Structure 1
């Protein structure tokens, strides 16, 4: 659970910070190995870069490389924070007297960080290539022409559903947990719930008793259900609509 929660938390943040990552990548590649003043500055500062990218490449370009960025954040932070959490839970950070050892904590943090960075590095490279892609008039650095999925591929829809599903499950899982418990609680002879008075009471009781993680129980199952469910719903809807119009003409 430590790995999952750490990875999903980082993905949630990445959804909002990826445009800044795109701007950062392009500004760092601008003027690569060229003397100051000898090249055209397409991006004068952060705000100018946002405006320029949005105007020339389109607003969607500010989220370039989002798929590998999310995968990178999930993998790197899941491994980094999850590994450190497991080491801490195992009691390896404490001395024989029970006190916290700064040296062990630093070593564990370094080990977890190296593991996360090493395993996430190939994905970070793909992310950088995609974020650097730009229209010729504002292109900086080497322009790789990667294409993750062919146009009109079902994989595009599936990937989009899985990416958007991160934000959905982070926002909705606490309410899903509360509704599941409300439906499943025992009732008296009049059908009144014996454990919760309503959804707010269910949320408050869960948070007080089980902590914040208790409100996110089943988040992994919710996430991996949501993406396929969305794309399959759209697929069957499209097929049924096609059959309907075919046989009713």
Structure 2
């Protein structure tokens, strides 16, 4: 192991983001749709994942399906550089193993959560910028608070000028538990599944790519289930407008947001955007971990050839 694990984790996630970002746009719009409104009392421009794709492309143009790509790439690079780098370091030192050498779910979850905690805290400003840009739409299909940013850099400058560093890190309190749940569950499931398939191969010709793909898919499914409610809360907190003192106009914190969503929208409100989230996080998590493993294989072969 060397420091390039952190770099490879970030690069692998950026490659995956180029493919899955349109689903992130759809997820963000659907999570903001009907904010703090009871079911059936609000305009619903996005009725399903497919309908959302068509509606966005028709009204905002096809390019809108890649809205927020720049901050999304930055967020994923920082998050996964830390997350995968820390987890892989722990794994190669044997800190995720049981005394018999098998993968420990609890230890894997701990190191996965630790990496996600650090990465999400550092990358928090880019999560907010991504949410702002992805939610911007024409009036006919607009949902949630509409920020009038022209791009990532101008948005960052504007927020910093008005509210300082604290403004850029507004909402960080929810991204860390979000990452703890999602990253811990994903990497524990990934590590355990990978270890299981290596010890119990499904065929004599089982390839490393097959193992990584299956393990990544299992990890992604676990991640989507555990992470959707905190992801909805994070999207709401990051996207809300603020007053002159930088205080949210809808929610004053994680608990307040959680309670208000439950009261106004019910439990279903915490799972808004689940399907685009599931459809994105499964392939995204699979691709990130697959690319990460493939990049590590390429690195190993490079060193062996020297």
- TM-score normalised per structure 2: 0.48
Pair 1:213-2:299 in alignment: yes
Change in 2 beyond 3 A, CA 1:97/1:57? closer
Change in 2 beyond 3 A, CA 1:18/1:102? closer
Pair 1:40-2:43 in alignment: yes
User: What is the distance in 2 between the residues matched to 1:7 and 1:18?
Assistant: 16
The residue that corresponds to 2:68 in the other structure is 65
Change in 2 beyond 3 A, CA 1:51/1:215? farther
Displacement, 1:211?
A: 3.6
Which residue of 67, 84, 89 maps to 1:86? 89
Pair 1:24-2:27 in alignment: yes
5+ residue gaps in structure 1? 151-209, 218-249
User: What is the distance in 1 between the residues matched to 2:47 and 2:41?
Assistant: 14
The residue that corresponds to 2:274 in the other structure is none
Pair 1:128-2:131 in alignment: yes
Change in 2 beyond 3 A, CA 1:63/1:215? farther
The residue that corresponds to 2:146 in the other structure is 143
Larger radius of gyration: 1
The residue that corresponds to 1:111 in the other structure is 114
After TM superposition, where is structure 1 displaced by more than 6 Å over at least 4 residues in a row?
none
Change in 2 beyond 3 A, CA 1:101/1:44? closer
* Structure with higher RCO (Cα < 8 A, 6+ apart): 2
User: What is the distance in 1 between the residues matched to 2:37 and 2:7?
Assistant: 43
Displacement, 1:96?
A: 6.1
Deviation sequence 1:200-233 (CA, Å, 0-9, x none):
xxxxxxxxxx94335788xxxxxxxxxxxxxxxx
Deviation sequence 1:99-151 (CA, Å, 0-9, x none):
6544332321221121122222221111001000001111000001122357x
5+ residue gaps in structure 2? 155-295
User: What is the distance in 2 between the residues matched to 1:134 and 1:35?
Assistant: 23
- TM-score normalised per structure 1: 0.58
User: What is the distance in 2 between the residues matched to 1:17 and 1:74?
Assistant: 14
The residue that corresponds to 2:57 in the other structure is 54
The residue that corresponds to 1:77 in the other structure is 80
> What is the number of residues matched between the two proteins?
158
